[in-house]
Each structure stands twice: as structure tokens, then as C-alpha cells.
Amino acid sequence: MIELKDYQKKAVENLHRKIENSLRSSDNEVVIFQAPTGSGKTVMVSELLKELISGREDDKKFSFVWVSVRMLHEQSKEKLEVYYEDNRSLKCSYFEDLEDKKIGENEILFINWHSINKKDINLFVRDNEQDNNLNSIIKNTKDDNRTIILIIDESHHTANSEKSKELIEIISPKITLEVSATPHLTENIAEIEKVRLFDVKAEEMIKSEISVNPEFLDAKIGTKSSDEVVIEEALKKREELAKMYKKEGSKINPLMLIQLPDNKAGLISKQEGVIKILGKKRITEKNGKLAIWLSEEKSDTLPDIEKNNSDVEVLIFKQAIALGWDCPRASILVIFRESKSFTFTIQTIGRIMRMPELKYYSKEPDLNNGFVFTNLPSIEITEEYAKDYITIYEAKRDNKIYKDISLPSIYLKRQRERTRLSGEFLKLFLKVAVENDLAQKVNLKPVKIISPIIADGKIVDIDKFGEIEHKGTISVALNEKELQERFDKFIFQNCTPYAPVDSSDRMKTALYQFFNQKFKFEKYDPKVQRIVLGKENVQLFVDAINLAKERYKKEVIEKLSEKRELQETPSWEVPMFITYNSRYKAEIQPLSAVKPFYTAKPSEPERLFIEMLNGSKEIKWWYKNGDTEIKYFAVLREDDFAFYPDFIFQMKDGTIWILDTKSGRTAETSDAKPRAEALQKYIKTQNKKGKNLMGGIAVYVNGTWRYNDNEKYEYDPNDLSSWKVLGL
């Protein structure tokens, strides 16, 4: 059985709740499920369908239609059959597998979109003498009193076309679930569930970033064609990655993909030219290092190509054939210039986004990246996801002004349990409920929750502040929407000290699960909200939640320090290369240790600090630090968090400064103190070992930069006598 990641569980829970809301509507509705390529959309939808049909207390019965592009419906069917292998909860069928010309209960009909989305809709939809068409199958299914849910998979290729809308009209499903990284349906949208790219990266499911033509400025071109340059640079990178996997103790053989233009004109000559270039590098079909996947030609090695230790090093393919193809060991994509314009989408790079072992590598962080090599003169990135993901700019360390500084640094894997409730909270809440006899104390029929409304008010003086004069109030019972809003507010308030945005769904699930287990309520029954908020019950649940949070802190958070995965970099240096996405802009900064200097939206303190650094005659170089990644400089705080100071710079006398810039407001937050004191402890320790470090927290006050390097940090905006002037 596949174990879902945290973000997948959360998405399924949210999506289930939203679909249940739409099922209660009198209208047919569209639900959007937007998730990045590589996030496991099929797995999440598989779990969703299983949850939809299981443990229902109403009389709803479901049949499903799953529509995918090209051959993806076959892949989807295979994946779902594997997912349902253990409990056989849903049956997966093609058109010809249906019995009695209808879709059975808990049966999924898989359809290839391109077999029905043609100029003339084919036999599946047209009437024919056997009365065996989509129209009649849908009618027969509905006549059996089953609710039809339509899943449009990879909808960016289909859902906006007229035939897509026509198909939705033919099926007239109760729910249309559009599943895509870039959804397009715009009509009748009732609910949207979105999986964030950073959450997928945090679970180490997909590559950290995609680099385009790295280190190309140093490539030796000579008389080579652009195709030769691109292929040779890509092969060189593939060899580097192969060596890195060996250093990590992994048996993965990285795969390089070469995508031939999809237009038929010139396809053969391009293919021959590519094979000739590869042959010079001893990569051929004959020795098993090359595989070809074209509609008219397929290598014998294709069946095993997805295995991590396959001998195939390079695969030549055409875009149309490989849509949706999944091979996690693929790390490099080569794209050639075409006669038509080319735009980058999240689907273009989807084939090299997955992590082969579902983890990031610490010794060789380049393995966490994907690489695109191309002779395109420029790249237009079309979607927001892709803009965040694809790195098209590269800055290189300037070794003319920079010499090694060898500073110890640390990297901590993300531990979200410290700031949010994890799935463990559900178990602890249910334990607390049992121990405190919550089920016996709850009143299942509380008095109605009312909302007072002002009555007979009047404004005598519009300039007079204060409460409006009124004769009294009337009491009105909350409607369903108002009840939902009050329940959400209750959950939000009771999440403290954990982030409500990340924790509220866990707490809601705990409450719903309690009523499901103890009183057999439907999983998302709105009666739960009314009972929890009833004046007879609300304090009982506040107390139980607080007890569960106390136990969560003791049994989950306080044990985290024992499990923390601390990785140390004994000799950290400013990164040799740093890549940036299209949101960054280049600036000329002569003293920056990496050039060009790229920035997105610097804070005002950062902008002023860079101005000050550039104006100093004593500074040799400066470096604007990043955060959250192993390649950036970090110090371990007392509370086991990582602290990434903003700036590191070196004076001409060799002194190295480490400073974190703050505005006056952020200098007095509770977070400033542990950062400042951790940095002073680090500086003191390193200076005892022979380093020459200075630094601290820096603020800009009345036109002067001042810094605090005290072991015990204090900030009083009215008294900065203990803060030194930063004279550079």
C-alpha cells in the first residue's frame, strides 16, 4: 500500500470535503484540483475516490468516467488498478469491459480523449445499431440511480476545447473534477483545491530546480554546430551526475532525454544528425546505451528503460509519444530549435522533475536539480508554476576578488511539526477524548446557536463616535454558511501556538473523526459544527483540544531534537554558481562575490546596506546570503532552528563580517534575540580556533548603521547606547 505524503493527505482531505459540499448542491458543479507535475496527482485522486465511496451513510451510489489525453488513460488505469489491488474497492474498465451497457457501481470507465475529441465524435458517442454509445451508457447508468463523477485528467490539453464542453454536456456529471497543473475550465466552478509547489519540494518528491544551459559561457565551441555543442555539454553533465550518484552510494544511472521537434518536416534529418553525434561518443543502439522511441521506430530496450539501473544512457523521443511518460531517473532534457516558437511549460520539464529515490542528496546537491540543454535563443515561460521552477539565469563566483574563507555551516532538514500540527495530533486528540469521557459528556442536541441582530437603531449625530442608539436586538439562528464561518473561526483561534493555515485542517479532521468513531456521524457532517459550538459543549472541546496540544508538544515536539537530521558543512564557501528564475533581475555590483548580482525584491534595509557596502573603500567583497538550502551559510540556534544571516563580507585586512540586517520593528521581535545570541556564540567559538570574525544584528537608525555584538541581545529603540556604530 502506498503511504501518502503529508501534503497529499491534506489535499485529499480538503478535496473530499469540497466535493461533499458540491454533492449537496442542487446544481452540477466543477471542482478544480491544481497540483504540480510530479506531485502524485493520480495517487491523490485514487485515494479520493476510495474515500468517496467508503463508509457512506447516505444512499448515494457512484459511477466514474476518467478521461485522459493520448495514451494516458492506459497509464492511469494501470496505476489505479495497482492502488486498489489490496481491497478491490473500485473496478477499472475500458469501454468494451462494461456489462449491460452501463457503468457499474464503484466502476471507473477510462476513455482516451483523442478517440472522442475529434472533428466528428466517433462511435463512442454516435448512435449505432447496437445502441452501444456513450449517450446510452450514461443514460443507463443514471437510470440505475447512480451519481456520475467525471474526472478530466491532465486537462490543460483538453478541457478548454469545444468538444470538451460538449462531452461534459453529454455526460452531464454531478461533479466534474478537473485535474491539472494548469487548469482551464472557467464555468460553474464551485471549489478549488491547490497543492503548493514548495510543499512538494519539502517532501523531496521533485527536483529543487531546473537549470538551463549551466556553465555555457565557458563552453568551447570552435567549429561545432549548435546541435553538437548542446549534446556534448549535456553528455558531460550526465557523466558528472553518474559519478555523483556513485559517491552517494546509489546505483542510479541518470538518463538524458533528447526531444526531437514534433513537426514532421525535417524530422528524419534531425534524427540522423543526432544519432551521428551520439555515435562519435560511443552511444549507440548496438551497445545498449541509446534507445529510440518514435511512432515508427522503437528500441528493444524500451521495456526496461524506467529501471534505475538500466544501461540506457540516452533516449531519443518525440513530444507527442512521450506525453505523461514517467521515468524518475531522467535528469537531463535536450531541446532543439524549431521553426515555430517554443514556450516552456511545467509539462515540458515534467519528464525530468521527479526524484528517483524520493529524497534529496546532501553530499552532491547537484543531484537535486534537473538540467535542460538547448540551442533556443530565448525561452518564454508561460505558467506561474514554471516561472518559480525554471532557473534561466546563472551567477558565478568572482574568484579574482574572492579567496576561500572555510567557515563551518549547518543544514537542518525541515521539521514542520514545530510550527504546525501533524497527523499525530489526530491520534492524540482521540486518546484525550477517551481518557476524559468526552463522548459521555457531549450533548448531541444543544440549543440552537443564535446570532443577535441590531433592531430599531438610529443615528442622530453622524459626527458622534460610539455605539449607535438602538432599542434592542433580535435573535436569529445561524444558517449553514454562518455556522461554517463561526466553526472556521473557532478552529483558527484554537490552533495557537501552531500556524492556523497549516494546522486547521488537522484539527477539523480530529473533531470530525471523533464524531465518526463515537456516534457514527458521516465524515463531514455539518451537524458536528453545531454540536461543537453549542454553549453546552464548546468548553468541553476547548479543554480537550488544549490537552491534546499539550500532549502533542510533549510527545511530538520535544522529541524532535532527538531525531533532528543535522548536516554539517565543515568548510563552507560562497557557492561557485547560483541559479535564479525569471522573477529575478540582474544588477551591476562590482563588489558582489557572485556576478551578475540578481535580486527579486530586496527589503529596504538590504537595499540601504548594499549601498553602504559599495561606498566603503575598505571592503574587498560582499555576499548576499540565501536561505533554506544546504548551499547557503547557516548557524545553529539554541532552539535547534537554522539561522541564515543576510550578509557576509570581507575587509581588505582579512576580517570577515557576518551581519543580519533588520528594520527597527523587526529588531525587537522575539525571533531577533535567538538569532543574535546564536551568531555571537558562533563568532566567539570560531575566533578561538583562529578565525577573524565580527558581526551581529545591524539596524539603520537616523542615517547611521549600528550593530549589536553583545552575548546577551537587547533592543530598546529609545536607548541604543550598547549598539556600536558600523564604521566601514
Residue type, 201: K
C-alpha dihedral sign at 315, 316, 319, 322: negative
SS3 of residue 717 by DSSP:
coil
Strands 297-298 vs 597-599: parallel, antiparallel or unpaired: unpaired
Cell of residue 203, nine digits: 517532501
d(CA 357, CA 686): 37
Give the DSSP H/E element, type plus range, for residue 4.
Answer: none
Kindly report the pTM of this predicted structure: 0.61
Query: What is the three-class DSSP state of 516?
Result: helix
pLDDT confidence tier of residue 16, bands split at 50, 70 and 90: very high
Backbone angles phi, psi at 91, to 5 degrees: -105, 135
Residues 658/648, Cβ–Cβ less than 8 Å: yes
Strand boundaries in 85-181, DSSP class E:
91-93, 107-112, 147-153, 175-180
Residue 164: domain span: 6-197
Residues 6+ positions from 458 with CB-CB distance below 8 Å: 468, 469, 470
Q: List 374's β-bridge partners, or say none.
A: 335
If one counts every other C-beta atom within 10 angstroms of the C-beta of residue 64, the result is 28
Residue 166 and residue 250 share a domain: no
User: Nine-digit cell at 727?
Assistant: 564604521
Residue 268: how many CB atoms within 10 A of its CB? Answer: 11
Reported as a pLDDT band with limits 50, 70 and 90, residue 591 is very high
Rounded Cα–Cα distance for residues 209 and 391 (Å): 7
Examine residue 283 and state whether it is found in any structural domain, yes or no: yes
Same domain, 102 and 217: no
Ranking 578-582, 628-632, 712-716 by mean pLDDT, the lowest is 578-582
Residues 700 and 573 in one domain: yes
Maximum Cα interatomic distance, the chain, rounded to a whole number of Å? 94
Q: Is residue 408 part of a domain?
A: no
CATH number at residue 333: 3.40.50
d(CA 408, CA 431): 44
Q: How many domains does the chain have?
A: 4
CATH of the domain at 175: 3.40.50.300
pLDDT exceeds cutoff 80 at 301: yes
For residues 314 and 424, state if they share a domain: no
User: Is residue 123 in a domain?
Assistant: yes
Span 308-336, pLDDT tens digits: 999 999 999 876 544 556 788 999 999 88
Q: Does residue 515 fall inside a structural domain?
A: yes
One domain for residues 231 and 357:
yes
Q: To which residue does cell 442608539 refer?
A: 469
Beta bridge partners of 649: 622, 657
Does residue 310 lie in a domain region? yes
On whether both 274 and 375 belong to a single domain, the answer is: yes
536 and 510 in a single domain? The answer is yes
Which residue, 197, 223, 254, sits at the end of a domain?
197
- pLDDT band of residue 142 (cuts 50, 70, 90) is very high
- Indicate which CATH number applies to the domain containing 696: 3.40.1350
- Band (pLDDT 50/70/90 cuts) for residue 418 is low
Q: What is the pLDDT of residues 109-127, one digit of tens each?
A: 998 876 664 444 444 544 4
Ramachandran quadrant class, 6 (left: phi over 0; alpha: psi -120 to 50; beta: rest): alpha
Q: How much is the pLDDT for 145?
A: 93
How far is Cα of residue 713 from the mean position of the Cα atoms in its chain?
A: 36
CA pseudo-torsion sign 467, 470, 473, 479:
negative
pLDDT tens readout for residues 672-694: 899 999 999 999 999 999 999 99
pLDDT at 389 over 80: no
Judge whether 70 and 324 are in contact, CB under 8 Å: yes
> Does residue 413 lie in a domain region?
no
What is the rounded average pLDDT of the residues 447-462?
A: 57
Q: Hey, how many other C-beta atoms are within 10 angstroms of the C-beta on 235?
A: 20
Cβ partners under 8 Å of residue 161, min gap 6: 117
Do 314 and 337 have their domain in common? yes
Three-state DSSP string of 600-657: CCCCHHHHHHHHHHHCCCCEEEEEECCCCCCCCCCEECCCCCEECCCEEEEECCCCEE
Structural domain includes residue 703: yes
What is the Cα gyration radius of the chain?
30
Q: What is the rounded distance in angstroms from the CA atom of residue 714 to the CA atom of residue 379?
A: 49
Distance in angstroms (rounded) separating the CA atoms of residues 611 and 179: 47
Among 501, 530, 561, residue at a domain's last position: 561
In DSSP notation, 524-584 reads T-THHHHHHHSTTTHHHHHHHHHHHHHHHIIIIITTHHHH--EEEEEEE---SEEEEETT-
Task: Report the candidate in 683, 665, 685, 677 with the shortest Cα–Cα distance to residue 641.
Answer: 677
The neighbour count for residue 16, using CB atoms within 10 Å, is: 19
Three-state SS for 316? strand
Which of 507, 526, 561 corresponds to the end of one domain?
561
Could you read off the pLDDT of 234-251 as tens digits, one per residue?
999 999 999 999 999 999
Kindly state whether residues 60 and 159 are assigned to the same domain: yes
| Mean pLDDT across 710-724 | 92
Q: 3-state DSSP call for residue 274?
A: helix
Beta bridge mates, 572: 407
Contact present, 707 and 724 (Cβ < 8 Å)? yes
Tell me: do 607 and 699 sit in the same domain. Answer: yes
Pair 155, 184: CB distance under 8 Å: yes
Q: Please, what sign has the CA dihedral across residues 36, 37, 39, 44?
A: positive
Residues linked to residue 320 through DSSP beta bridges, in sequence order: none
Q: What percent of the chain has pLDDT over 90?
A: 45
Check pLDDT > 90 for residue 36: no
Q: Is residue 202 part of a domain?
A: no
Q: How far apart are CA 116 and CA 166, in angstroms?
A: 10
- Taking residues 93-119, report their average pLDDT: 81
Same domain, 482 and 342: no
Q: 34 with 70, same domain?
A: yes
Q: Which helix (H) or strand (E) holds 474?
A: strand 469-477
304 pLDDT above the threshold of 80 = yes
